[in-house]
């Protein structure tokens, strides 16, 4: 059947519960595939660290409803168990017009549960509740009769007396209580300005995962859970790709500074004939030899700006490669790296690659949300006037905007203009907007075509 972990609101402990279940399953020696609703990069890193398998994002805005189903039913049957982590509160989505009806929970956890026809485990923060817990659970179960709440996880329970009050209140609803986590059971994963600190920066993570597995072994009802977590069979045929008749080598920056990538994007490049070579600008590695393309994902270059700036030979090699015409994609943190400087939270300036004649400056303001972006001029990846859909999530801005921006951008759910964005150079696509290529296969196809042109030059 498979299960999606939902919260009654943000901050109730969905990620902790999900990681606890994954850690306990992996301790049992079983293969488990995880998914994450929404555009997030960091939570999937933790999933992958625990399961050993790439976590897949399920996002109907960045892709489509059809792609969410195809992705789930392609990867889920390859493992014995499947678990999906939701996003925000169960019904928290965005406005979306479907025919004549406006949906306000589009791309929400509830929406994805309906698309996949899977059950929901609702996580409730009980730290300030007793009898009222029943009203919350009843409301979430009855608001949308198309979804099925298979059970509850009670989080941040204070004592045995507190638990008995919660159980008594919930008894008339006949909802299975599948797990109970105490307040003192909470295991803290460090965070900073964009959420959790990524896995590659946490040397103590093995200890955290073991502690989570201990909690999962003790505090969950596995007799009821295991049948719910069984992977679903696939009613959707797999997508077929033509066998590529040539290949290109693309250097993908991946280290503590650059690690925001959708696994599906990397998979698409490989299916279309690319050989991906991972390397670390942060550690002073020179770009791989004989490459025909470069891909710089998002991440935290601002945190490691001083170390990046000291790797002068790396910076010069990247600049020379781009000036030599190598097609390059730079998203968010990658865009910042291609600027002349990064100005950190303390006001310190650190020299970067300098392909983009501007500075990226950190500030307290968070830019966050889905975007509809209209392409202003033809690029090596996109045709003018095309609408693309992406997501922004950053605390920096560019001191000088491009004289030839890539996009005119709008909020996804309305026509509110959010300004011109991105840098359009002949062989550089640099933008704060993160894209998932699941329903835009022409983008990686055109990237590879440009790399092949460079290979022949």
**Residue 211 burial (10 A CB sphere; 0-12, 13-18, 19+):** middle
Three-state SS across 50-100? HHCCCCEEECCCCCCHHHHHHHHHHHHHHCCEEEEEEEEECCCCEEEEECC
- Asked whether the predicted pLDDT for residue 195 surpasses 90, the reply is no
Site of tokens 């095309």: 386
Query: What rounded mean pLDDT belongs to the chain?
Result: 93
Residues 6+ apart with CB under 8 A from 86: 4, 5, 6, 7, 14, 37, 108, 109, 112
Active-site pick, 71, 332, 339, 451 = 332
414-440 average pLDDT score: 95
What are the tens digits of pLDDT across the range 156-180?
999 999 999 999 999 999 999 999 9
425-443 average pLDDT score: 96
What are the tens digits of pLDDT across the range 30-39?
999 999 999 9
What pLDDT score does 141 carry?
A: 96
Site of tokens 């400087």: 341
What are the tens digits of pLDDT across the range 76-111?
999 999 999 999 999 999 987 665 566 679 999 999
- Residue with more model confidence, 220 or 193: 220
| Alpha carbon separation from 188 to 41, 126, 146, 268 (Å, rounded) | 19, 18, 35, 35
What pLDDT score does 454 carry?
A: 84
SS3 185: helix
Backbone φ and ψ for 352, nearest 5 degrees, come out as -120, -155
Site of tokens 């608001």: 143
d(CA 407, CA 429): 11
What pLDDT score does 28 carry?
A: 95
- Asked whether the predicted pLDDT for residue 280 surpasses 70, the reply is yes
What are the tens digits of pLDDT across the range 110-155?
999 999 999 999 999 999 999 999 999 999 999 999 999 999 999 9
Q: How confident is the model at residue 276 (pLDDT cuts 50, 70, 90)?
A: very high
d(CA 123, CA 126): 9
- Asked whether the predicted pLDDT for residue 313 surpasses 80, the reply is yes
Site of tokens 């290949």: 247
Residue by residue, DSSP assigns 230-273 as BPPPP-SPPP--PPPSS-EEEEEE-SSSEEE--HHHHHHHHHTT
208-225 average pLDDT score: 95
Q: How confident is the model at residue 320 (pLDDT cuts 50, 70, 90)?
A: very high
Q: How confident is the model at residue 194 (pLDDT cuts 50, 70, 90)?
A: confident
- Asked whether the predicted pLDDT for residue 361 surpasses 60, the reply is yes
Q: How confident is the model at residue 185 (pLDDT cuts 50, 70, 90)?
A: low
| Alpha carbon separation from 290 to 82, 245, 249 (Å, rounded) | 40, 19, 7
45-49 average pLDDT score: 97
Q: How confident is the model at residue 1 (pLDDT cuts 50, 70, 90)?
A: confident
Residues 6+ apart with CB under 8 A from 418: 369, 371, 409, 410, 411
332 is annotated as an active-site residue: yes
Identify the helix (H) or strand (E) that includes residue 113. Answer: helix 109-116
**In the chain, count of helices (H) and strands (E)?**
13, 25
What are the tens digits of pLDDT across the range 402-420?
999 999 999 998 889 999 9
């Amino acid at each position: 059947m498979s299960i999606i972990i939902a919260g009654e609101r943000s901050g109730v402990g969905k990620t902790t519960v999900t990681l606890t279940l994954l850690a306990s399953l992996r301790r049992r020696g079983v293969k488990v595939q995880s998914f994450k609703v929404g555009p997030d990069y960091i939570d999937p890193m933790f999933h992958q660290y625990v399961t050993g398998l790439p976590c897949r994002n399920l996002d109907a805005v960045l892709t489509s409803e059809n792609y969410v189903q195809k992705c789930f039913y392609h990867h889920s049957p390859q493992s014995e168990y499947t678990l999906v982590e939701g996003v925000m509160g169960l019904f928290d989505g965005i406005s979306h017009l479907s025919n004549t009806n406006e949906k306000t929970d589009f791309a929400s956890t509830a929406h994805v549960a309906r698309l996949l026809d899977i059950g929901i485990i609702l996580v409730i923060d009980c730290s300030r509740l007793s009898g009222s817990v029943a009203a919350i659970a009843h409301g979430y179960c009855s608001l949308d009769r198309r979804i099925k709440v298979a059970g509850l996880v009670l989080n941040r329970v204070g004592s045995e007396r507190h638990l008995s009050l919660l159980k008594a209140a919930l008894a008339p609803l006949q909802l299975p209580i599948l797990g109970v986590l105490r307040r003192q059971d909470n295991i803290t994963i460090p965070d900073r300005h964009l959420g959790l600190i990524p896995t590659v920066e946490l040397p103590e993570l093995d200890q955290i995962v073991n502690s989570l597995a201990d909690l999962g072994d003790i505090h969950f009802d596995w007799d009821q859970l295991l049948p719910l977590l069984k992977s679903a069979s696939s009613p959707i045929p797999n997508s077929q790709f033509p066998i590529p008749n040539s290949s290109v080598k693309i250097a993908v920056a991946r280290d503590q500074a650059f690690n925001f990538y959708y696994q599906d994007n990397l998979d698409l490049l490989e299916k279309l004939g690319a050989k991906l070579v991972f390397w670390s600008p942060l550690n002073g590695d020179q770009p791989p030899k004989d490459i025909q393309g470069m891909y710089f994902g998002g991440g935290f270059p601002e945190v490691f700006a001083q170390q990046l700036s000291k790797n002068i030979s790396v910076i010069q090699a990247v600049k020379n490669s781009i000036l030599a015409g190598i097609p390059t994609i730079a998203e968010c943190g990658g865009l910042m790296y291609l600027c002349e400087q990064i100005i950190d939270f303390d006001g310190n300036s650190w020299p970067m690659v300098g392909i983009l004649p501007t500075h990226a400056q950190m500030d307290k303001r968070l830019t966050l949300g889905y975007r509809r972006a209209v392409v202003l001029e033809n690029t090596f990846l996109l045709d003018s006037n095309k609408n693309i859909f992406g997501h922004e999530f950053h605390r920096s801005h560019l001191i000088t905007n491009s004289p030839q921006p890539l996009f005119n951008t709008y909020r996804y759910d309305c026509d509110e203009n959010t300004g011109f964005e991105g840098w359009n150079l002949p062989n550089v696509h640099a933008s704060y907007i993160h894209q998932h290529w699941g329903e835009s296969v022409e983008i990686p196809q055109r990237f590879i075509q440009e790399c092949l042109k460079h290979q022949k030059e």
